[in-house]
Amino acid sequence: MEWISDINVWTALITLTVLEIILGIDNIVVISILTSKLPLHQQAKARQIGIGLAIITRILFLLSLVWLASLTTTLFTIFSNDISMRDLILIVGGLFLLYKATHEIHGVMEIRADERKPKVLAAFGGVVMQILVFDIIFSLDSVITAIGMAQQVGVMIAAVVIAMLMMLVASGSISAFIEKHPSLKMLALSFLLMIGVTLIAEGFDLHIPKGYIYFAMGFSGFVETMNILAATRRARATLE
Protein backbone atom coordinates (compact mmCIF):
# COMPACT_ATOMS: atom_id res chain seq x y z
CA MET A 1 0.00 0.00 0.00
CA GLU A 2 3.03 2.29 -0.28
CA TRP A 3 1.66 3.66 -3.55
CA ILE A 4 -1.01 5.61 -1.62
CA SER A 5 1.61 8.03 -0.27
CA ASP A 6 3.68 8.09 -3.48
CA ILE A 7 3.15 11.48 -5.16
CA ASN A 8 4.69 10.19 -8.39
CA VAL A 9 2.01 7.51 -8.70
CA TRP A 10 -0.82 10.01 -8.20
CA THR A 11 0.78 12.49 -10.62
CA ALA A 12 1.10 9.79 -13.28
CA LEU A 13 -2.49 8.63 -12.67
CA ILE A 14 -4.01 12.13 -12.96
CA THR A 15 -1.90 13.10 -15.99
CA LEU A 16 -2.56 9.84 -17.78
CA THR A 17 -6.31 9.98 -17.04
CA VAL A 18 -6.55 13.46 -18.57
CA LEU A 19 -4.61 12.32 -21.64
CA GLU A 20 -6.81 9.24 -22.01
CA ILE A 21 -9.93 11.44 -21.91
CA ILE A 22 -8.47 13.72 -24.60
CA LEU A 23 -7.47 10.74 -26.76
CA GLY A 24 -10.97 9.33 -26.29
CA ILE A 25 -12.73 12.32 -27.85
CA ASP A 26 -12.45 10.90 -31.35
CA ASN A 27 -13.73 7.57 -30.04
CA ILE A 28 -16.87 9.24 -28.64
CA VAL A 29 -17.46 10.99 -31.98
CA VAL A 30 -17.25 7.67 -33.83
CA ILE A 31 -19.56 5.91 -31.36
CA SER A 32 -22.05 8.80 -31.56
CA ILE A 33 -22.18 8.62 -35.36
CA LEU A 34 -22.49 4.83 -35.45
CA THR A 35 -25.18 4.56 -32.77
CA SER A 36 -27.28 7.30 -34.38
CA LYS A 37 -28.26 4.70 -37.00
CA LEU A 38 -29.98 2.58 -34.34
CA PRO A 39 -33.52 2.93 -32.97
CA LEU A 40 -33.61 5.48 -30.15
CA HIS A 41 -34.23 2.87 -27.43
CA GLN A 42 -31.10 0.91 -28.46
CA GLN A 43 -28.64 3.80 -28.73
CA ALA A 44 -27.76 4.09 -25.03
CA LYS A 45 -27.23 0.32 -24.77
CA ALA A 46 -24.96 0.34 -27.84
CA ARG A 47 -22.89 3.19 -26.38
CA GLN A 48 -22.54 1.33 -23.09
CA ILE A 49 -21.47 -1.88 -24.83
CA GLY A 50 -19.10 0.05 -27.11
CA ILE A 51 -17.31 1.86 -24.29
CA GLY A 52 -17.32 -1.34 -22.22
CA LEU A 53 -15.57 -3.11 -25.10
CA ALA A 54 -13.11 -0.21 -25.30
CA ILE A 55 -12.21 -0.69 -21.62
CA ILE A 56 -11.71 -4.45 -22.10
CA THR A 57 -9.66 -3.93 -25.27
CA ARG A 58 -7.31 -1.43 -23.63
CA ILE A 59 -6.81 -3.57 -20.53
CA LEU A 60 -6.04 -6.65 -22.65
CA PHE A 61 -3.51 -4.62 -24.62
CA LEU A 62 -1.88 -3.37 -21.42
CA LEU A 63 -1.63 -6.93 -20.09
CA SER A 64 -0.04 -8.06 -23.36
CA LEU A 65 2.91 -5.68 -23.55
CA VAL A 66 5.20 -8.30 -25.14
CA TRP A 67 2.68 -9.00 -27.89
CA LEU A 68 2.03 -5.28 -28.31
CA ALA A 69 5.76 -4.64 -28.76
CA SER A 70 5.87 -7.30 -31.48
CA LEU A 71 3.39 -5.25 -33.53
CA THR A 72 6.20 -2.79 -34.30
CA THR A 73 8.34 -5.44 -36.01
CA THR A 74 8.91 -4.57 -39.67
CA LEU A 75 6.98 -6.80 -42.07
CA PHE A 76 7.98 -5.16 -45.35
CA THR A 77 9.14 -1.85 -46.81
CA ILE A 78 7.27 0.54 -49.11
CA PHE A 79 9.11 3.56 -50.57
CA SER A 80 11.76 3.36 -47.84
CA ASN A 81 9.04 3.19 -45.14
CA ASP A 82 9.14 0.19 -42.81
CA ILE A 83 5.61 -1.18 -42.43
CA SER A 84 4.72 -3.13 -39.28
CA MET A 85 1.50 -4.81 -38.17
CA ARG A 86 0.67 -1.68 -36.14
CA ASP A 87 1.13 0.44 -39.26
CA LEU A 88 -1.14 -1.88 -41.26
CA ILE A 89 -3.85 -1.65 -38.59
CA LEU A 90 -3.65 2.14 -38.63
CA ILE A 91 -3.69 2.35 -42.44
CA VAL A 92 -6.60 -0.07 -42.86
CA GLY A 93 -8.45 1.61 -40.00
CA GLY A 94 -7.88 5.03 -41.52
CA LEU A 95 -9.14 3.89 -44.92
CA PHE A 96 -12.21 2.34 -43.32
CA LEU A 97 -12.83 5.55 -41.39
CA LEU A 98 -12.57 7.58 -44.61
CA TYR A 99 -15.04 5.25 -46.29
CA LYS A 100 -17.45 5.35 -43.35
CA ALA A 101 -17.35 9.14 -43.03
CA THR A 102 -17.73 9.65 -46.80
CA HIS A 103 -20.65 7.22 -46.89
CA GLU A 104 -22.38 9.01 -44.00
CA ILE A 105 -21.80 12.46 -45.55
CA HIS A 106 -23.24 11.18 -48.82
CA GLY A 107 -26.28 9.92 -46.95
CA VAL A 108 -26.79 13.32 -45.35
CA MET A 109 -26.20 15.39 -48.49
CA GLU A 110 -27.89 13.21 -51.11
CA ILE A 111 -31.51 14.27 -51.55
CA ARG A 112 -33.74 12.16 -53.75
CA ALA A 113 -37.26 12.87 -54.92
CA ASP A 114 -38.53 9.66 -53.35
CA GLU A 115 -36.90 10.28 -50.00
CA ARG A 116 -40.22 10.13 -48.20
CA LYS A 117 -39.55 6.48 -47.42
CA PRO A 118 -38.98 5.69 -43.73
CA LYS A 119 -35.41 5.80 -42.50
CA VAL A 120 -33.63 2.44 -42.70
CA LEU A 121 -32.18 1.61 -39.31
CA ALA A 122 -28.96 -0.35 -38.82
CA ALA A 123 -28.73 -3.74 -37.13
CA PHE A 124 -27.65 -3.63 -33.48
CA GLY A 125 -25.04 -6.37 -33.87
CA GLY A 126 -23.52 -4.72 -36.94
CA VAL A 127 -23.14 -1.39 -35.15
CA VAL A 128 -21.55 -3.05 -32.11
CA MET A 129 -19.07 -4.90 -34.36
CA GLN A 130 -18.10 -1.64 -36.07
CA ILE A 131 -17.61 -0.01 -32.67
CA LEU A 132 -15.38 -2.94 -31.63
CA VAL A 133 -13.23 -2.52 -34.77
CA PHE A 134 -12.74 1.18 -34.09
CA ASP A 135 -12.08 0.48 -30.40
CA ILE A 136 -9.16 -1.75 -31.42
CA ILE A 137 -7.79 0.92 -33.76
CA PHE A 138 -8.08 3.75 -31.26
CA SER A 139 -6.76 1.54 -28.45
CA LEU A 140 -3.31 1.47 -30.06
CA ASP A 141 -2.70 5.20 -29.53
CA SER A 142 -4.27 5.08 -26.07
CA VAL A 143 -2.18 2.16 -24.85
CA ILE A 144 1.07 3.40 -26.38
CA THR A 145 0.52 6.72 -24.60
CA ALA A 146 -0.17 4.91 -21.33
CA ILE A 147 3.01 2.86 -21.62
CA GLY A 148 5.07 5.97 -22.28
CA MET A 149 3.58 7.89 -19.36
CA ALA A 150 3.61 5.30 -16.58
CA GLN A 151 5.72 2.32 -15.61
CA GLN A 152 3.17 0.49 -13.44
CA VAL A 153 0.49 -1.56 -15.16
CA GLY A 154 -1.93 -0.90 -12.30
CA VAL A 155 -1.67 2.86 -12.82
CA MET A 156 -2.23 2.44 -16.56
CA ILE A 157 -5.32 0.28 -16.08
CA ALA A 158 -6.75 2.61 -13.42
CA ALA A 159 -6.30 5.64 -15.69
CA VAL A 160 -7.92 3.87 -18.65
CA VAL A 161 -10.91 2.70 -16.59
CA ILE A 162 -11.48 6.14 -14.98
CA ALA A 163 -11.23 7.91 -18.36
CA MET A 164 -13.59 5.48 -20.09
CA LEU A 165 -16.16 5.69 -17.28
CA MET A 166 -16.13 9.48 -17.59
CA MET A 167 -16.59 9.09 -21.34
CA LEU A 168 -19.52 6.76 -20.69
CA VAL A 169 -21.22 9.43 -18.58
CA ALA A 170 -20.62 12.15 -21.19
CA SER A 171 -21.29 10.12 -24.34
CA GLY A 172 -25.08 10.28 -24.06
CA SER A 173 -25.15 14.07 -23.83
CA ILE A 174 -22.63 14.46 -26.63
CA SER A 175 -24.53 12.05 -28.90
CA ALA A 176 -27.85 13.80 -28.23
CA PHE A 177 -26.33 17.22 -28.90
CA ILE A 178 -24.75 16.08 -32.18
CA GLU A 179 -27.98 14.41 -33.30
CA LYS A 180 -30.07 17.47 -32.42
CA HIS A 181 -27.99 19.82 -34.55
CA PRO A 182 -27.44 18.60 -38.16
CA SER A 183 -24.60 21.07 -38.72
CA LEU A 184 -22.70 19.56 -35.78
CA LYS A 185 -23.26 16.09 -37.20
CA MET A 186 -21.67 17.21 -40.47
CA LEU A 187 -18.81 18.74 -38.49
CA ALA A 188 -18.36 15.47 -36.59
CA LEU A 189 -18.23 13.54 -39.88
CA SER A 190 -15.60 15.99 -41.11
CA PHE A 191 -13.62 15.22 -37.96
CA LEU A 192 -13.80 11.54 -38.86
CA LEU A 193 -12.30 12.32 -42.27
CA MET A 194 -9.48 14.22 -40.59
CA ILE A 195 -8.89 11.41 -38.09
CA GLY A 196 -8.86 8.86 -40.93
CA VAL A 197 -6.20 10.85 -42.82
CA THR A 198 -4.21 11.14 -39.58
CA LEU A 199 -4.32 7.38 -39.00
CA ILE A 200 -3.10 6.70 -42.54
CA ALA A 201 -0.29 9.24 -42.11
CA GLU A 202 0.70 7.61 -38.81
CA GLY A 203 0.77 4.25 -40.58
CA PHE A 204 3.36 5.66 -42.99
CA ASP A 205 5.37 7.22 -40.12
CA LEU A 206 4.23 10.75 -40.93
CA HIS A 207 3.61 11.95 -37.40
CA ILE A 208 1.07 14.76 -37.10
CA PRO A 209 1.13 16.38 -33.63
CA LYS A 210 -2.13 15.49 -31.91
CA GLY A 211 -2.31 18.99 -30.47
CA TYR A 212 -3.01 20.35 -33.96
CA ILE A 213 -5.82 17.86 -34.48
CA TYR A 214 -7.50 18.54 -31.14
CA PHE A 215 -7.11 22.31 -31.51
CA ALA A 216 -8.76 22.18 -34.94
CA MET A 217 -11.61 20.06 -33.56
CA GLY A 218 -12.05 22.28 -30.51
CA PHE A 219 -11.93 25.55 -32.45
CA SER A 220 -14.34 24.31 -35.13
CA GLY A 221 -16.70 23.03 -32.44
CA PHE A 222 -16.54 26.38 -30.63
CA VAL A 223 -17.32 28.35 -33.82
CA GLU A 224 -20.22 26.05 -34.69
CA THR A 225 -21.59 26.33 -31.15
CA MET A 226 -21.52 30.12 -31.48
CA ASN A 227 -23.42 29.82 -34.76
CA ILE A 228 -26.05 27.61 -33.11
CA LEU A 229 -26.47 30.03 -30.20
CA ALA A 230 -26.78 32.98 -32.60
CA ALA A 231 -29.39 31.14 -34.68
CA THR A 232 -31.33 30.26 -31.52
CA ARG A 233 -31.37 33.89 -30.41
CA ARG A 234 -32.54 35.04 -33.85
CA ALA A 235 -35.35 32.47 -33.78
CA ARG A 236 -36.47 33.64 -30.33
CA ALA A 237 -36.36 37.29 -31.42
CA THR A 238 -38.53 36.47 -34.43
CA LEU A 239 -41.12 34.73 -32.25
CA GLU A 240 -41.23 37.66 -29.86
pLDDT average, residue stretch 15-29: 73
Whole-prediction pTM? 0.65
Grade residue 70 by pLDDT with cuts at 50, 70 and 90. low
pLDDT of residue 116: 47
Handedness of CA 30, 33, 35, 41 (dihedral sign): positive
CA distance 63 to 34: 28
Tens digit of pLDDT for each residue in 25-53? 777 777 887 887 788 888 888 888 888 88
Q: Which secondary-structure segment (H or E) carries 78?
A: strand 74-78
Tens digit of pLDDT for each residue in 78-130? 877 888 887 887 788 788 878 877 877 777 666 544 454 445 556 888 888 88
Question: What are the b/e assignments for 107-138, b being 16+ CB within 10 Å?
Answer: eeeeeeeeeeeeeeebebeebbebbbebbbbb
